[in-house]
Each structure stands twice: as C-alpha cells, then as structure tokens.
Chains A and B, each alone.
Chain A
Amino acid sequence: KAGVTQTPRYLIKTRGQQVTLSCSPISGHRSVSWYQQTPGQGLQFLFEYFSETQRNKGNFPGRFSGRQFSNSRSEMNVSTLELGDSALYLCASSPGRDGRQAQYFGPGTRLTVT
C-alpha cells in the first residue's frame, strides 16, 4: 500500500498570503489529522477529519481551516499568513471510525513565510 502523501513538499510564501496544503491518506483510511511542528512548540494538533466532518480541533486561530473530501483526501488552508506560521505541517491517517487508533504520518510540507 502506498503511504500518506503530502503536496507540495516545500512552499515559500510572503506574509498576508494564503496557502493550501494537500494530504492523501493511505488507501482505506478514513480519518485524517493535521499537525504543526516547530522547534519551539514541538508537535501541535490542528484538527481531525472523518467522513468529511471535522471531529476534533486544536487550539489554533480561525485562520487555520481544513476540509475532507468524499475520497478521504484532505486539504488544510491558512489565510493571512504570519511569520510564525513557518513550520513543518504533518498529516496523519488512521484506519477506522475510532480516531484513537494508530496514526501513520506523511513526509510533511515545509512552509516558510517571509
């Protein structure tokens, strides 16, 4: 089975712009979670989607949003980018309805905001 894929792998944006990141889960996985990783804060949970519905959300401002499509692919959007949004954004997929199962991560998208 192919693993979790994320596109693009690298992205450079300027402050005030918006960005959309994409994640394709492992085939058959229906839960997709997003995380932000920075040297200072470590791995922080953004949100989780299951069957096109946001099931859980972390403590991030409303500039961070996401969605999931009927094929389980997910996108994450960040509007009005700030320098502090520079991070590695990781997507993880999980097999089933129970979001507490093992998570499998993609390679990440490295976002740099200048």
Chain B
Amino acid sequence: KQEVTQIPAALSVPEGENLVLNCSFTDSAIYNLQWFRQDPGKGLTSLLLIQSSQREQTSGRLNASLDKSSGRSTLYIAASQPGDSATYLCAVINYNFNKFYFGSGTKLNVKP
C-alpha cells in the first residue's frame, strides 16, 4: 500500500526566504505526482503536476522535482511571500489504482 509522508509538518520562515518542502512515497510505481495548496477551510488548489517520466515542473516562483527511484519529490518556493502561507499537500497516483494517496501536508507560515 502506498504511503506518502511530508516533512516538516509545519514551517515558519521570514518573508523573502527560499524554501523547500519535502514529500516521500513508499511505492515508486507512480503514474504522476501532484502538489496542492490548501487555505484554511477551503478546497485544494492544484499547483503542479509531474508525470512519472518527468523530472521537474515549474510555474512562476514554484519548482517541483521528482526522483522516482528514491521515492521523493520536493517543492521549491522562491522569494516567499506572506500570501504563500497555506498548507501544501502532495499526492501520488499509482499505475494500478485510480485514486490519489495524499500526504498529511506541510503548514507554511511566511512572516512579514
């Protein structure tokens, strides 16, 4: 059974810092990996999707990388802003199962 872990559970940084969020998964037979952002009490906003054949994806200040062999993905946020404060979740979907497995998230607080 696929298990997804996100470390750290919470992170507090001053505005302007570059930061890295981590996601690890136990079964490397994934089809794709998706990063989401969730604001308190709200739904999930899709940030980046990485196909299993890709190594990274970029959108604005965000860059996500994928290393299937080691079962890891990182989300890099450049020049963090207070508006980036939210919970960031990663999810993987395996080749064999049509459902996403979610990590428990990293709660990010960017201080002005």
Chain A residues near B (Cβ < 8 Å) = 4, 6, 33, 35, 42-43, 45, 48, 55-56, 58, 88, 90, 92, 99-108, 110
Contacts and interface: CB of A to CB of B under 8 A. Distances in A.
B86 interface: no
Contacts of A105: 36, 43-46
Contacts of B89: 43
A6 B43 CA distance: 10
A110 B46 contact: no
Contact of A90 (B43, B97, B99): B43
Nearest to A91: B43
Contact of A99 (B36, B42, B98): B98
Given A100-B32, A100-B93, A102-B49, A108 B100 contact: no
Nearest to A48: B98
B94 to A, nearest CB: 8
B102 to A, nearest CB: 4
